[in-house]
Structure 1
Amino acid sequence: MAAAAPLLVHVESMQTAVPTRVAGTGRSLPIAVSGPPLTAEELQRRFRAVLYYRGAGGELEAAARERAAWVKESLSAALSDCPEMAGLAGRLRRGGDGRLWEVKLKDTGVRLVHASVEVTVAAFLEASGANRERKEAALALWTDVDAHEPDICAPFILQLTRFLDGGYAVGVSCSLLLADPLSLIGFLESRARKHAELQAQGMHVANPVIQYTRYLQSPGAAKRVKSASTLGAAAAAAAADNTATTVLFRAAGTPDHRALAVACVGKACEMLGVREPPRFTVMDRDGSEGLNVQACACAAAADGDQKPWRGQGHAPRLAHWREAGLEDMELEGSKPVHVSYSVSPCADEGLVIVMPAGGAELLISVTVPNNM
């Protein structure tokens, strides 16, 4: 029997969505690194989400082109309406010793990728486990942040991928130095609301011939920038992600985020039946716009206690990504049929992200290696 043809994702256009008005040019958001300087590998820590939507079937090429235009327009508007997320349109910049980092707000825009895949949504979702995760990485492309010239890299990418049956996927990859997952999800919800608002108002896209020439050509005339097999670089990145598992917790707010992180790492490892990693990194914000990145050692590595979360005065309880709301994010009147989430840490380390969740509660993401 002949081998099945490899699944290809065709990248048809790479564009930039810029804020519709100045949102924060000139400001910088500090990143305080406590511990060794950030390495090239640590700069690739990121959050990925992919939302799948079914199409009406037999969708016209013109409808797909119109959706692409609206996605760019609503993304630009959302960047202007969410000043707290202005960093998404900024760039990472490093200081001299590798410990001084910042997000420079330059209003340079975010990378927007338009792509297509030669399969239906249903067929794509039939795959399961690691097989689908390898393919899924090509629905939310990522370009590694260059440790020497980080300011030339796009640390936030949004990708719109069309399927054969008119369905589509919205995939995002975002550096955790720019935004935590909960903040990014809030921005995506804001963009969806802006998308619906602009369409309801019947607002026309400015300068459509100039901005969207590629999508106004005759069907099939757009040149493909490249065709990437999901078994290539994207699959390699997904394979690395599969070596770790993420568990979510909720807990009452506390100023001692490190102790809370230790408690959550211990509880996550006990639930998963793995040993605690010898080290982990805590990423959190202290109420200001700046980000703290703190390298820590697990208590178990020091005293052999495999349950350091006991008796610490913290009571984290299990949470789920669906509580963040992406499963209810409507686009064109429909909710996604599936949503996936992924946190990419560094090899052989734990990663804890502490996020304000409204009121006095915190949402804590704990990612630990599977092979400990």
Structure 2
Amino acid sequence: MAAAAAGAKPQVHIESVQTGLPTRVVEPDRTRLIAVSAPPLPEAALQRRLRAVLYYRADEAAWEEGIWVKESLGEALCFFPEMAGRLRRRADGSWEVKLNDAGVRFQQATVEASLEEFLADKDRVRKEAALAPWVDVSAEDPDMCSLLFMQLNRFQDGGYAVGVSCTALLADPRALARFLLEWARIHAEMKEKNKTLLRPMMQYMAYFQRPELCCRRIRSFPIDSAAADGVRVRTVLFRTSAAVAGGGGDLRALAAACMARATEELGADMASRFTLVVAPADPARGATTVETSVAADGIKTGHKLEAADWSELGLEELTLRGVKPVHVSCRIVAGGEEGFVVVMPDGDGFLVTTTIPN
């Protein structure tokens, strides 16, 4: 890939856009409920999402990962079929994820920068939106919108990054991490089986020899044009025991306590209202609950909170090509003036992400 011309803004080039589909059909009529306490759910709630970008050092041969990602994604989606589903509105104002095998969006891109340059960029947080794309979910036609996007980005020095964006209504941070770790395990297993079984790869020979013949550039855009949505909010993580949280019965108070603590730690103004998302203890059977515009004042917030960190998700262990990432970036993208709290059952307690506007 040629470097950017002198004085020109570095570009991101989208080389391939595909859809990753489960390799096995999901049983009909399967859904996952998203219970909305006070419908209707505002359209902005559909766009609140998780973004993860994992960076790896590697040689040029790493670009062959793109051949395997789609195959391994298909296998992983068999164990996490909701990731390939679509949102739809229910008659009572709540929502659900229809497990309909519609698939996830997978893209390959090249970046006019080296891995080291990108990691050292003081504006990296904003520019990461170019590595982990997102298309807003339409409130009118949600069944036409992918809920998870994955992009494999190659840098000029051979390093690469895997960027993932996923609506918070589909998966909480722990659920997304479980999916990505399982995908990486399946990815490595499939590649190893191919080596031992010598499965024919003739359909990919042209790609290895002349990749430009198989990847027609779809579009390009300046890295600088990436939206600033990743820097308009800040997120703090906390942990608390179920006993301290009132046995799990008063999660609004727990969320308010986390809002107050995060506001104090970041020296920000307290948001007057927040949206609360409570993840199910068992994603396969339970429902996600959403409560919008919860008043932050007037709630008793006597909770003991411990600081937590994104590293507890375990994404630093996501191994590709036998190596771990040199850097992992995780964040919540949530617009508007309200706070955003996600409460996740975790063992005998809760892990809580608390996002407040800048």
Q: TM-score, normalised by structure 2?
A: 0.89
Q: How many Å apart are 1:286 and its aligned residue?
A: 4.3
**Gap change, CA 1:12 and 1:37, over 3 Å in 2:** same
8 Å Cα contact 1:69-1:205 kept in structure 2: no
Report the counterpart of residue 7 of structure 1 in structure 2: 10
Quick check: 1:199 aligned with 2:191?
A: yes
**Gap change, CA 1:165 and 1:286, over 3 Å in 2:** closer
Q: Summarize deviations over 1:290-341 as a string: whole Å, max 9, x none.
A: 11001243443x59xxxx53xx2x2111100011111121111111011111
Alignment of 1:1-372 (within 5 A): 4-56=7-59, 59-60=60-61, 64=63, 66-80=64-78, 82=79, 85-96=80-91, 99-128=93-122, 131-202=123-194, 215=207, 218-221=210-213, 222-232=215-225, 235-236=226-227, 239-253=228-242, 254-287=248-281, 288-300=285-297, 302=298, 309=301, 312=302, 314-357=303-346, 359-370=347-358
Question: Amino acid of the residue matched to residue 282 of structure 1?
Answer: L
Partner of 1:191, secondary structure, is helix
Question: Amino acid of the residue matched to residue 226 of structure 1?
Answer: R
8 Å Cα contact 1:73-1:205 kept in structure 2: no
Structure 1: which 4+ aligned runs deviate by more than 4 Å? 203-210
**Gap change, CA 1:4 and 1:297, over 3 Å in 2:** same
Partner of 1:92, secondary structure, is strand
Q: How many Å apart are 1:135 and its aligned residue?
A: 1.6
Consecutive unaligned residues of structure 2, counting only runs of 5 or more, are 243-247
Taking the aligned partners of 2:279 and 2:162, their CA distance within structure 1 comes to 27
Taking the aligned partners of 2:17 and 2:107, their CA distance within structure 1 comes to 5
Q: How many Å apart are 1:278 and its aligned residue?
A: 1.0
Taking the aligned partners of 1:76 and 1:341, their CA distance within structure 2 comes to 24
8 Å Cα contact 1:25-1:107 kept in structure 2: no
8 Å Cα contact 1:279-1:349 kept in structure 2: yes
Taking the aligned partners of 1:9 and 1:93, their CA distance within structure 2 comes to 33
Percent identity, please.
47
Partner of 1:12, secondary structure, is strand
Partner of 1:248, secondary structure, is strand
Q: TM-score, normalised by structure 1?
A: 0.86
Taking the aligned partners of 1:126 and 1:9, their CA distance within structure 2 comes to 17
Question: Amino acid of the residue matched to residue 224 of structure 2?
Answer: L
Taking the aligned partners of 1:38 and 1:156, their CA distance within structure 2 comes to 20
Q: Summarize deviations over 1:28-70 as a string: whole Å, max 9, x none.
A: 11111112412222210100000000113xx25xx52x31111
Report the counterpart of residue 245 of structure 2 in structure 1: none
Taking the aligned partners of 1:206 and 1:152, their CA distance within structure 2 comes to 35
Question: Amino acid of the residue matched to residue 220 of structure 2?
Answer: S
Question: Amino acid of the residue matched to residue 231 of structure 1?
Answer: D
Question: Amino acid of the residue matched to residue 127 of structure 1?
Answer: D
Q: How many Å apart are 1:74 and its aligned residue?
A: 1.2
